[in-house]
């Protein structure tokens, strides 16, 4: 069985994913880390040197590879992974797997992301919290339809890592 964690940047996919893997004694893969180690570059370097379209192409290729090769694994996807190409179909068609959407509100995402935007090329240019709120709101409007195709949704606002992990289990 594999579990895919889906959600916007800053929704806690990696933190919850590694906790869940620890509790369930599963393997854990952070998909951004997987891409970085395959490409031998950080996500920011890939965006900078090759552009977003290249990133979306390799994201799709590595997702197929990962789905074929893994079992008993918690996989934290990138925030955009389910929203491009046939990625959401691949996730849904992948055997013995469940997808879980970690849903967080715009104010909470803004607070988290404003302080750690450096490693995230899509938001690195945003200067104020007001702009960040507007950007996330628009982006979520475009992406929610994909996120909502997950098998389950967990509302994460005001919940501890332990509470969210427990709820998923
Ligand atoms: C992206 C999210 C990032 C990373 C890349 C693009 C997105 O992952 O894949 O910067 O399109 O939302 P995280 O959600 O882990 O930050």
Atom of ligand 1 at shortest range from CA of 143: 12
58 Cβ inside 6 Å of ligand 1? no
Q: How far are the Cα atoms of 13, 126, 129, 156 from residue 44, in angstroms, in the given order?
A: 19, 15, 21, 27
Local structure of 146: helix, strand or coil: helix
Candidate of 47, 79, 82, 116 to mutate for ligand 1, largest count of ligand atoms within 8 Å of Cβ: 79
Mean pLDDT of the region 18-44: 98
Mean pLDDT of the region 6-19: 98
Mean pLDDT of the region 72-80: 98
Can you give the pLDDT at residue 62? 98
79 Cβ inside 6 Å of ligand 1? yes
Q: pLDDT grade, residue 116 (50/70/90)?
A: confident
Dihedral angle over CA of 156, 36, 97, 149, nearest 10: 50
User: Is residue 34's pLDDT more than 90?
Assistant: yes
Mean pLDDT of the region 105-130: 94
120 Cβ inside 6 Å of ligand 1? yes
32 Cβ inside 6 Å of ligand 1? yes
Domain boundaries, the chain: 2-168
In the chain, what percentage of residues exceed pLDDT 90? 96
Atom of ligand 1 at shortest range from CA of 59: 9
User: Does the domain made of 2-168 have the CATH classification 3.40.50.300?
Assistant: yes
Interface confidence (ipTM) of the complex = 0.98
User: What distance in angstroms lies between residue 87's CA and the mean position of ligand 1's atoms?
Assistant: 14
């Amino acid at each position: 069985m594999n579990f895919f964690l889906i959600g916007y940047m800053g929704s806690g996919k990696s933190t919850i994913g590694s906790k869940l893997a620890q509790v369930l004694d599963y393997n854990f893969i952070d998909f951004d880390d997987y891409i970085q180690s395959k490409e031998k570059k950080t996500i920011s370097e890939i965006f900078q040197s090759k552009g977003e379209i290249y990133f979306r192409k390799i994201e799709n290729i590595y997702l197929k590879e990962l789905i074929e090769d893994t079992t008993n694994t918690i996989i934290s996807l990138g925030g955009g992974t389910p929203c491009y190409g046939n990625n959401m179909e691949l996730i849904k068609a992948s055997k013995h797997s469940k997808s879980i959407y970690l849903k967080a509100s715009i104010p909470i995402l803004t607070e988290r992301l404003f302080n750690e935007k450096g490693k995230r090329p899509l938001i690195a240019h945003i200067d104020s919290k007001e702009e960040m709120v507007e950007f996330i709101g628009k982006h979520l409007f475009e992406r929610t339809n994909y996120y909502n195709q997950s098998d389950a949704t967990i509302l994460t606002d005001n919940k501890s890592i332990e509470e969210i992990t427990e709820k998923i289990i």
